[in-house]
Structure 1
Amino acid sequence: MSEHLWQPSAELDSLRQRGELLRNIRNYFHQEDVMEVETPMLSHHATVDPHIDSFQTVFTPLGTKAQEKLYLHTSPEFPMKRLLSAGSGDIYFLGRVFRNGEAGGRHNPEFTMLEWYRLGIDHHALMDDVTGLLAAVTNFEEQARFSYRELFEEEFGIDPHTATDETLMKLTHEYVDSGLSGLARNDYLDLLFSTSIEPNLGDYVDGQIQGVFVYDYPASMSALSRIIVNEQGQKVAARFELFANGYELANGYHELADGHEQRARFEKDLQERELLGKPVYPYDQNMVSALEQGFPDCAGVAMGIDRLHMLIAQKRAIKDVIPFEFFRA
């Protein structure tokens, strides 16, 4: 083992900057009268998102040989929604979450997430709030807002909501990789977006982060958001993502309030995980019950604080903004 691995991966000046960022975030929500909440890091349930994997551990009660599977949370979303159903009002979480998979570059198995919910607003009003937060804690300016359709029309000359799978495959061959075939529709869209559109969204000029919001994603990418009808009469997901200098910084929804629909989406995700050969985890029945009992009209957003700090400090790797990267943990 290297004798240098005891040292932090980030410079101390960067860590002081990080501490100030966290303090300023909390000050913003304090002034906005949004309550900070803590949620369990260990849960009896896990995410069933086909593209996210949970860490699993075992709880053994003292004096027994019993073993109970538990999962480290990948997001505080589900318990926060239970709090919202219980009448918490506007809330936020700022802390560590865990995702099994990549380490290095822009990723670390444990990272810092900011997630918050505002009652009585939709995803468009929440974009205003995201801009307000970022302008309060760093030198940020909102550059533009585009619908998902507008970006695909400008870049590829197609409407992503109506283009055929064959058209998407041909574009993927042209712009991404000629050997990719037989993919799901959303996979083609994701590849085209991440390769040709995302790198050009937002900027960093003279110390200022310039952000671009993208909204009205295809209905098939609704995740935990509502489905609405856009100006063209097409069903779209009531969600947005924020990009700056080629980074995805935040992902927000006008939250789905229908427990029966949420249960159906979870079941569909489980089927997809099984088809992909991934572990099939138990989904959060308590969160579904909370939605069924009554969930307030609200919008919520999650933001990666490590990526935000990387932008502020103009660092290329996550190890440069956290005390100890995964390989030194």
Structure 2
Amino acid sequence: MTESVWQPSAALTTLKARADLLATIRQFFSARNILEVDTPLLAKYSVTDPYMQALTADNPIGATERYFLQTSPEYAMKRLLASGSGPIYQLCKAFRKGEAGGYHNPEFTMLEWYRPDFNHYQLMDEVEQLVSQVLNSDKPFNRISYRDVFLDAFSIDPHSCDCETVRTIAQQHLDIQMDSDKKDDWLNLLLAEIIEPELGVDTPVFITDYPASQSALAKVSMDSSGIKVAQRFELYSQGIELANGYFELTDAEEQRQRFQQDQQLRQVLSAPTIEADPFLLAAMAQGLPSCAGVALGVDRLLMVSQQLATIAETISFSIDRA
């Protein structure tokens, strides 16, 4: 152990900038009469996403069932929406197992908000207003479809091409061996390794209209060419993903089916089975209002605004010093 391990991973000037950022965020939502809420970070249920692993904890009241540290406040916030909360936001810690690196820390700060009666395009406008204010920028953000991103980079339509085409392109560009026959795995690889580092270098950019197979908790619709696409977006700046937003799925039965599909894929991947959250499904059955929601990484936004190289530089004590 070195003498410096006890010291913070972030400079004092950055911690002051962080405090200013949190104040700016709260002022932004207060001005729009959006309610700040606080939901449990320790809960009975977690996400079923096959590619996301939650941290577990002992049952705090002595029973045998395990609890989870939440990967996002999404499920609990949707229960509030179904209870009639109206527009809400939350600034909180979130936790994801195995995520550590230049842009990741297992414990991180998330900003999540939901707007009843908004679609994802209206929410993109609001995300742009907030991020522009933080970055002190008056340049309009770019918007480009997932299809056009891949057409520009590789001259392929990601919606209509087959898996073998994407696999061949990935193997031409990357020295990697991956045993997968899922087209989305290869698309995600190309996006992460080749495309993302170039996104939003000059001006932040929204990517829209993801494949329907990547809809997660978003609604699916037909685009102008008759292809099913997910009504969701991601925001990038300086090659860093800052935000992920949806025109939220409100159909409880469709959500139940997606949870079941997640479980099937978890079995294929030999990942632990995660019970679908019955509280969320009950809330959706009661009536989740039409809404759009977004999760934004506060630490990453601070990275971009302060021109820092790693997420550790934005956190008082990164995981190696916690």
- Counterparts of 1:150-165 in structure 2, within 5 Å, are 150-165=148-163
1:118 is the counterpart of 2:118: no
Deviation at 1:166, TM superposition (A): 1.6
Letter of the structure 2 residue corresponding to residue 271 of structure 1: Q
1:127 is the counterpart of 2:120: no
- Counterparts of 1:207-286 in structure 2, within 5 Å, are 210-286=203-279
Letter of the structure 1 residue corresponding to residue 230 of structure 2: A
Provide Cα deviations, 1:142-164, integer angstroms capped at 9, x if missing partner. 43100111111121111111101
3-state SS of paired residue (1:95): strand
Partner of 1:203: 201
Give the TM-score of the pair, scaled to structure 1.
0.94
Give distance in 2, aligned partners of 1:55 and 1:178: 29
Percentage identity across paired residues of the two chains: 46
3-state SS of paired residue (2:99): coil
Q: Unaligned stretches of 5+ in structure 1?
A: 205-209
Deviation at 1:138, TM superposition (A): 2.7
Give distance in 1, aligned partners of 2:58 and 2:65: 5
Give the TM-score of the pair, scaled to structure 2.
0.96
Provide Cα deviations, 1:199-235, integer angstroms capped at 9, x if missing partner. 111125xxxxx21000000000000000001010110
CA contact (8 A) 1:176 1:191 kept: no
Letter of the structure 1 residue corresponding to residue 148 of structure 2: E
Deviation at 1:60, TM superposition (A): 5.1
Deviation at 1:178, TM superposition (A): 6.2
Cα 1:2–1:239 shift into 2, 3 Å: same
Deviation at 1:181, TM superposition (A): 4.9
Give distance in 1, aligned partners of 2:26 and 2:187: 36
3-state SS of paired residue (1:203): coil
Give distance in 2, aligned partners of 1:2 and 1:177: 36
Give distance in 2, aligned partners of 1:234 and 1:167: 19
Letter of the structure 2 residue corresponding to residue 76 of structure 1: P
CA contact (8 A) 2:163 2:181 kept: no
Partner of 1:94: 91
- Counterparts of 1:1-329 in structure 2, within 5 Å, are 1-59=1-59, 61=61, 66-140=63-137, 141-177=139-175, 179-203=177-201, 210-329=203-322
Letter of the structure 2 residue corresponding to residue 257 of structure 1: T
Deviation at 1:49, TM superposition (A): 0.7
CA contact (8 A) 2:45 2:276 kept: yes
Give distance in 1, aligned partners of 2:248 and 2:60: 36
Q: Unaligned stretches of 5+ in structure 2?
A: none
3-state SS of paired residue (1:28): helix
CA contact (8 A) 1:213 1:241 kept: yes
Cα 1:321–1:179 shift into 2, 3 Å: closer
Letter of the structure 2 residue corresponding to residue 11 of structure 1: A
Give distance in 2, aligned partners of 1:120 and 1:180: 42
Give distance in 2, aligned partners of 1:93 and 1:178: 39
